[in-house]
Amino acid sequence: MDQVRERTLEVLDGIELDRMDPLLADGFVYEMLLAHEYQHNETMLQLLQMVESYEPVEVDRGPAGEAVSDGPEMVLVEGGSHEIGAPGVGFAYDNERPRRRVELQPFRIDRNPVTNADYITYLEETGSEPPMYWERDGEGGWVRAAMGLTQEVDLRLPVVHVSWDEADAFASWAGKRLPSEPEWEAAAEGASRKRANLDQFSFGPAPAGAYADAASSSGAVQMLGDIWEWTSSSFTAYPGFEAFPYPEYSEVFFGDEHKVLRGGAWATRRDAIRTSFRNWDLPMRRQIFSGIRCARDESQGVLES
């Protein structure tokens, strides 16, 4: 790996970034390749967690020890005009553009991600299937068996490894709903990846309510990192979308078949995530590091321009 990296850096040293070539301008194609490698780092972790004998070489205990702050159950996101999508400059994928303005009705969104404790209450009341990797401990409690370890489910942590179908069912049970993509991004405005549980080495979420010093402008915490959050939206093109650098990256996945996730997880590389980043997957998928944050109408209806 060191040898490959050394040769790669030698090639990059000799590259001329032609501003007239959209693939080379600002080094787009190289950043895209790096981002793609970052995303595969997370995919490999999805597989490693299934290996019974796997043991992390290094674990960062910092996120697990982050202070937890109290706050309201939900925070208000003001209605009106919000800008959604990646700006015209800087790296982003084609599906994040063009940036546009949407009109939203005021709504409320959970301040924190849904916790294991919340989800256990839901399981007990509905008899629903538990998240992936959960099993009974024989005494009425729950344990989680993944990453080579079997541990008691920590009630403080955000629930992870739930499908879109399960997230949607939980939200309905809670008297809420999943946020739409525009709503999620509006709620995440001001969130920074600099203070978030990212980059893989924590090997799990931080407690719900952590990183309050890096809350979004709306007051929601952990909008970036810890868990991917399902939205109610299908993966479709933004108005004015143009495929780049090839249709197969985004365009072939557009439609009702895939649901959008936002925010990144503990397994997401820091330089790969941003508030405009759109992840997508099939609604039955659970091996991904996916969780829940619910929303509720402040007044009826959500309008998008």
Q: Tens of pLDDT along 230-250? A: 999 999 999 999 999 999 999
Q: Is the pLDDT of residue 305 over 80?
A: no
CA distance 214 to 224: 10
Q: Is the pLDDT of residue 302 over 70?
A: no
CA torsion, points 284, 288, 293, 296, in degrees to nearest 10? -30
8 pLDDT band (50/70/90 cuts)?
confident
> In the chain, pLDDT over 90 holds for what percent of residues?
84
Question: What is residue 189's predicted lDDT score, i.e. its pLDDT?
Answer: 97
Q: What is the mean pLDDT of residues 261-270?
A: 98
Q: Match 């619910």 to its residue by tokens.
A: 294
Tell me the one-letter amino acid at 208: A
User: Is residue 269 within 8 Å of 44, Cβ to Cβ?
Assistant: no
Find the angle CA(267)-CA(215)-CA(229) to the nearest 5 degrees.
40
Mean pLDDT of the chain: 94
Burial class (CB in 10 A: 0-12, 13-18, 19+), 95: buried
Q: How much is the pTM?
A: 0.93
Q: What is the mean pLDDT of residues 80-103?
A: 96
Question: What is residue 304's predicted lDDT score, i.e. its pLDDT?
Answer: 43
Residue 215 tokens read as 């809350």
Q: What is the mean pLDDT of residues 207-232?
A: 98
> In the chain, pLDDT over 70 holds for what percent of residues?
98
Question: What is residue 56's predicted lDDT score, i.e. its pLDDT?
Answer: 86
pLDDT tens figures, 116-168: 999 999 999 999 999 999 999 989 899 999 888 899 999 999 999 999 999 99
Question: What is residue 276's predicted lDDT score, i.e. its pLDDT?
Answer: 98
- Which one has a higher pLDDT value, 82 or 304? 82
Question: What is residue 12's predicted lDDT score, i.e. its pLDDT?
Answer: 86
Question: What is residue 151's predicted lDDT score, i.e. its pLDDT?
Answer: 92
Q: What is the mean pLDDT of residues 185-197?
A: 97
Question: What is residue 102's predicted lDDT score, i.e. its pLDDT?
Answer: 97
Question: What is residue 149's predicted lDDT score, i.e. its pLDDT?
Answer: 85
Question: What is residue 1's predicted lDDT score, i.e. its pLDDT?
Answer: 87
Beta bridge partners of 291: 229
Q: Is the pLDDT of residue 26 over 90?
A: no
CA distance 217 to 187: 7
